Structure 1
Amino acid sequence: MIELLLVGIGTGNPEHLTLQAIRGLNSADLVLIPRKGSDKADLADLRRSICAEVVTNSATRVVEFDLPRRDRTVADYRRGVDDWHDAIAKVWSDTIRSELPDGGSVAFLVWGDPTLYDSTLRIASRLEPAPRVRVIPGITSIHALAASHAIPLTDIGAPFLVTTGRLLRDAGWPAGVDTLVVMLDGDCAFQHLDPAGVVIWWGAYVGMAEEITLSGPLAESAPRIIQARAEAREAMGWIMDVYVLRRTGG
């Protein structure tokens, strides 16, 4: 029997790990670190450094494997993602079977929290044979962003909505809510909104040493954010960012 331990590790800062996460990693027989190609080598490096710092159990092995890339030429976005997840699940299954032929516990280090805008649980559901899954929550980029800007996510008596850049671009600002948290936005969808009365709090590499944050009225901040984002992506080879939009009524 395989136990799959999905450990939320926060946003790249080893100090974001909870005691539960550290104990979970040290309880595993195997920790798997995915390699996502040279353009995202920093992500594997961060996982390695976290393991080197907190995994003190000599019986816990750390093994790396190559992660399949998504075919972005597939016109049907959902089908392309499903095919990609199937390919990842096969690599997971093959690696676990090879490294733990007699069963045991295997841990994955998951950015942020495994339950929020992460596909790890969906991939885990495809594994054969089905493992027993345990989730350890982690600090999300949403919470780290709000902390960096020292802002509350909610206004008094009002909700906020977590959405994606794709949905914001295609459907516009959702009705009935004044505060949006936007993730997975590779095209800066905020630039297509009417900026009147909107404030933005943006951050890239939140929680990491490379963290960049900008904020202010959307009309003034959008060009600065677009430029900063492009420069950071060019320098790092990849980018992870998140932002909050709020209608102030002004």
Structure 2
Amino acid sequence: MDELLLIGIGTGNPDHLTLQGVAAIRSADVILIPRKGADKADLADLRREICAGILGDDTARIVEFDLPRRASEGDYLANVEDWHDAIAQAWTRAIAATPGPAPRKVALLIWGDPSLYDSSLRIAGRLSPAPQITVLPGITALQALCAAHRMPLNRVGAPFLVTTGRRLRENGWPADADTVAVMLDGSCAFTTLDPAGLSIWWGAYLGMPNELTLSGPLADTAPRIQALRDEARARHGWIMDIYLLRRG
């Protein structure tokens, strides 16, 4: 492999793909699609749908592989390191198993954007020999969330902080923060905060036909989000969501 293309594909709507991303998919010799199990088959289906819209019946370039699972017990950061090693090995095996001559350009379709709370660049750094890496940015979940709620991400002249659900749960409200965007929260960490004076803007399946949004004072809205989130996850088998918290 001479070049690895990391292509941001937005948050679920094939129309979110940029023209630059379309050209990159067309140029790839191989497109890797991860399989995350039957309960998350929609994620692989979406990638196949994007490829079909661009490549038509030229499906020979698509190579699927089973994504390793991250250990849930033990040290979190150590588990992530081991998981990234395993994913890099899975990429290598999938590429090596491709029929015909060795591919020169390999593409991965990245949900959201390859540069924001995504580990594809870190995993790519484990490949040996190291290929040239080209990043094609996509629409982030933050952009899609603010668009869905028709709101700006920041107040006038004010900063905002982006963090994870795990850090919010462990450390509480970040010091000196006014606006906090929370990603990768699988357990509704907002329920651990004192809701007084806080508002929330939440979204799931952003950009997809089954998009869900809720907003309002945290005290009133948190139980509604939990109930809707549980019902949606039970119905679809998976959920991807994000939210914004703001004081005042």
**Pairwise TM-score range, normalised by the shorter structure:** over 0.9
Contact 1:205 1:241 in 2 (8 A): yes
Separation in 2, partners of 1:71, 1:183? 20
For 1:156-176, what per-residue CA distance to the aligned partner results, in whole angstroms no more than 9, with x for missing partners? 111000000111111111111
Residue in 2 that maps onto 1:92 = 91
Who is 2:19 aligned against? 19
Distance (Å, rounded) in 2 between the aligned partners of 1:103 and 1:149:
42
| 8 A contact 2:165–2:183 mirrored in 1 | yes
Which runs of no fewer than 5 residues in structure 2 stay unpaired? none
Q: Deviations over 1:35-81 (max 9, x none)?
A: 111111110001001100122594971111111111213x1111111
The yes-or-no answer on 1:129 pairing with 2:125 is no
Match of 2:180 in 1: 180
1:235 aligns to what SS in structure 2? Answer: helix
CA gap 1:57/1:29 in 2 versus in 1, 3 angstroms: farther
> TM-score under structure 2 normalisation?
0.96
TM-aligned CA deviation for residue 97 of structure 1: 2.3
Cα distance between partner residues in 1 of 2:2 and 2:163? 34
Structure 1 unaligned regions, length at least 5 = none
Instruction: Give the root-mean-square deviation of aligned CA atoms.
Output: 1.4
Compute the TM-score of the two structures, normalised by the length of structure 1: 0.95
Mapped to 2, the partners of 1:56 and 1:49 lie a distance apart of 10
Whether contact under 8 Å (1:31, 1:60) holds in the other structure is no
**8 A Cα contact 2:9 2:111, kept in partner:** yes
Paired residue type of 1:95: A
Alignment of 1:73-112 (within 5 A): 73=73, 75-99=74-98, 101-112=101-112
Secondary structure of the corresponding residue to residue 10 of structure 2: coil
Classify the secondary structure of the residue corresponding to 2:52.
Answer: helix
Contact 2:184/2:242 (<8 A) preserved: yes
Work out the percentage of aligned pairs sharing the same amino acid. Answer: 63
Aligned equivalents of 2:111 and 2:59: distance in 1?
24
Cα distance between partner residues in 1 of 2:97 and 2:199: 51
Give, in angstroms, the shift of residue 2 of structure 1.
Answer: 2.1
Between the aligned partners of 2:21 and 2:212, the Cα distance in structure 1 is 26
Return the offset for 1:128.
1.5
Displacement of 1:98 in angstroms is 2.7
Q: Does 1:63 align with 2:47?
A: no
Structure-2 residue corresponding to 1:28: 28
Amino acid corresponding to residue 90 of structure 1 in structure 2:
Q
Q: Is the 8 A contact 1:22 1:55 kept in 2?
A: no
The 2-side partners of 1:58 and 1:209 are apart by 26
